[in-house]
C-alpha cells in the first residue's frame, strides 16, 4: 500500500514505516559523529521510549559512546484493519533492529507504564537480560490519561491556566491556520487530575518498585524530563496545570535523590528546550512561540532537536563530569541556549509581530511543520513516498526479531 500523511488538527493519523527507520538512522549517524558519552551507563531502563526525548535518549546511550543495553517501555499501536499503526511502533521495531546489529541488547516492552503488570514485566526483563540491576532509569512518559488500577477511576490531564482565563493563539497543523482562542481556568478536579497524570507519583512508584525488587545497581541514577520555558509561555505552562505538575515532578526528584543516595546514586529533573514532540503540539499557545524560537535559534546557530539535547545532556551533565551540575533548585538546565537573554529578546520581538496573516513568513512555520511530519516518518530525504510499502513483510520482521530474544 502507498502510505500518505493524514493529520487531524495536531494529531497524525498515519505513519510511514520506512520514514521512521530513516529518522532513526539519521539520529544514530548524529550521535556517532558527536562528542562521545564517557563513563556512561551500561544497563538502561527508559520508561516512555518510543518517541521524543525518550527515544533520543535511547539512541544516544546506545550509539553515542556509552554502548548501553536498553529496556524500553511504551504503549504503541501496531498495524491493523484500522490503520498502519503509530510511528512509535515502528520506532521501537527499527531501533531494536539496528541496536541488535551492533551487538546491543534492546528489549521492547509494550504496555501501560502506569500499570503494576508492566512494572512486573520490566522486573522480569531486568532479571533476564541485565543480571538483575539497572544503572540508569529514564522517565519520559507523556500521556493524557492515567488509570487508577485499584478503583477503576480514570485520571485525566487538562492543559489549562489556573485562576483566570488566558487568551492566545495556536496553529492547526492540519490546515496551516492561525487560531485565536481563550482558555478558561482549570477546575480543582482538572488540576488534581493533571498532577496525577503528569506529576512525579508514577516516577517514584517505578523507582520504589525497582528498589524493592533489588534491581538498583550501585551508582544508579534516574532522570525525568521537564520544561520551564520563557515568560511568553508561563501563563499557559508554568503558571497553569502543567507547571503545577512539573513542580511536583521537581519535588519528587528530591525525594528520590535521598532514596538513591543509599546506592551512591542520584535523581534529577532535567529542564529541556521547547521542541516539537507528539506531546508539545497539544499545548495551546506554545506553537507561535516555537515558530519564533526556531527562526531565531536557527539564525543564531544554536538550535537543537531532541537528539542534540540528549547527547549534550549525557556528555556534559549526567556523565563525563565529577559532579552533576544543577541550579539552585537542583535542576539540570539543558534549556540554557533557549533562555539566553539575547535569544529571548529576539523571540519576544518576533512573537509580538506575528499574526494570522504573516506567521508563516515571519516565523519558521515550515521548519516546525517539517519536524512534525518527520516525527511520523514523512518528509525525509531518501524515501520514495510514492512506492508501496509491504506492511506484512515489516510485521514478519518484527515477529522474527521478537523470536530472536526468546
Instruction: Judge whether 282 is annotated as a binding position.
Output: no
83 is in an annotated binding site: no
The response to whether 49 counts as a known ligand-binding position is yes
| 113 is an annotated ligand-binding site residue | yes
Which residue reads 484493519 in cell numbers?
A: 81
Q: Could you tell me the strand order of the sheet in which 216-226 lies? A: 106-110, 69-74, 43-47, 134-139, 216-226, 266-271, 331-333
Q: What's the count of helices (H) and strands (E) in the chain, helices before strands?
A: 13, 13
Residue 323 grid cell: 559532579
DSSP state of 266: E
Query: Does 276 appear as a known binding residue?
Result: yes
377 annotated ligand-binding residue? no
Instruction: Please check if 275 is assigned to a binding site.
Output: yes
φ/ψ region of 39 (left if φ > 0, alpha if ψ in -120 to 50, else beta) reads left
Sign of the four-CA dihedral 22, 57, 86, 278: negative
390 is in an annotated binding site: no
Q: Which residues pair with 110 in a beta bridge?
A: 74
Active-site residue, selected from the candidate residues 90, 94, 139, 237: 237
Q: For residue 237, indicate whether it is catalytic.
A: yes
Report yes or no: 353 and 307 within 8 Å, Cβ to Cβ: no
The span from the CA of 359 to the CA of 365, in Å, is: 7
> Does 227 appear as a known binding residue?
yes
Determine the Cα–Cα distance for residues 16 and 161; give it in Å rounded to an integer.
36
Residues with catalytic function: 237
**Feature table: binding site for substrate:** 227
**Feature table: binding site for NAD(+):** 48-53, 75-76, 112-113, 141-142, 246, 275-277
**Feature table: binding site:** 48-53, 75-76, 112-113, 141-142, 227, 246, 275-277
Amino acid at each position: 500500500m502507498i502510505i500518505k500523511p493524514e493529520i487531524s488538527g495536531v494529531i497524525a493519523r498515519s505513519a510511514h514505516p520506512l520514514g521512521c527507520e530513516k529518522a532513526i538512522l539519521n539520529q544514530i549517524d548524529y550521535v556517532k559523529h558527536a562528542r562521545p558519552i564517557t563513563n556512561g551507563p551500561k544497563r538502561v531502563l527508559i520508561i516512555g521510549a518510543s518517541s521524543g526525548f525518550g527515544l533520543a535518549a535511547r539512541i544516544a546511550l546506545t550509539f553515542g559512546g556509552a554502548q548501553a543495553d536498553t529496556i524500553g517501555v511504551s504503549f504503541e499501536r501496531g498495524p491493523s484493519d484500522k490503520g498502519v499503526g503509530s510511528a512509535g511502533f515502528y520506532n521501537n521495531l527499527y531501533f531494536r533492529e539496528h541496536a541488535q546489529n551492533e551487538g546491543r541488547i534492546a528489549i521492547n516492552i509494550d504496555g501501560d507504564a502506569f500499570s503494576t503488570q508492566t512494572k512486573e514485566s520490566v522486573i522480569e526483563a531486568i532479571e533476564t537480560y541485565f543480571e538483575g540491576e539497572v544503572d540508569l532509569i529514564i522517565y519520559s512518559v507523556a500521556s493524557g490519561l492515567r488509570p487508577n488500577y485499584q478503583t477503576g477511576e480514570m485520571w485525566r490531564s487538562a492543559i489549562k491556566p489556573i485562576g483566570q482565563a488566558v487568551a492566545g493563539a495556536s496553529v492547526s497543523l492540519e490546515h496551516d491556520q492561525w487560531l485565536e482562542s481563550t482558555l478558561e481556568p482549570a477546575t480543582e478536579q482538572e488540576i488534581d487530575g493533571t498532577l496525577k497524570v503528569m506529576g512525579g507519583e508514577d516516577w517514584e512508584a517505578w523507582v520504589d518498585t525497582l528498589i524493592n525488587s533489588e534491581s538498583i545497581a550501585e551508582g544508579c541514577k534516574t532522570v525525568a524530563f521537564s520544561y520551564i520555558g520563557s515568560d511568553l509561555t508561563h501563563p499557559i505552562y508554568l503558571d497553569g496545570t502543567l507547571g503545577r505538575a512539573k513542580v511536583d515532578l521537581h519535588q519528587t526528584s528530591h525525594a528520590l535523590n535521598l532514596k538513591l543516595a543509599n546506592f551512591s546514586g542520584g535523581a534529577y529533573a532535567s529542564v529541556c528546550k521547547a521542541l516539537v514532540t507528539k506531546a508539545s503540539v497539544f499545548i495551546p499557545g506554545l506553537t507561535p512561540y516555537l515558530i519564533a524560537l526556531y527562526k531565531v535559534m536557527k539564525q543564531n546557530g544554536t538550535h537543537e532537536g531532541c537528539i542534540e539535547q540528549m547527547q549534550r545532556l549525557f556528555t556534559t551533565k549526567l556523565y563525563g563530569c565529577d559532579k552533576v551540575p544543577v541550579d539552585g533548585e537542583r535542576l539540570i538546565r539543558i534549556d540554557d541556549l533557549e533562555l539566553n537573554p539575547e535569544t529571548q529578546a529576539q523571540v519576544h520581538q518576533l512573537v509580538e509581530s506575528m499574526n494570522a496573516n504573516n506567521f508563516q513568513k515571519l516565523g519558521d512555520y515550515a521548519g516546525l511543520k517539517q519536524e512534525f511530519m518527520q516525527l511520523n516518518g514523512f518528509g525525509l530525504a531518501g524515501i520514495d513516498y510514492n512506492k508501496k510499502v509491504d506492511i506484512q513483510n515489516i510485521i514478519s520482521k518484527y515477529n522474527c526479531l521478537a523470536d530472536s530474544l526468546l
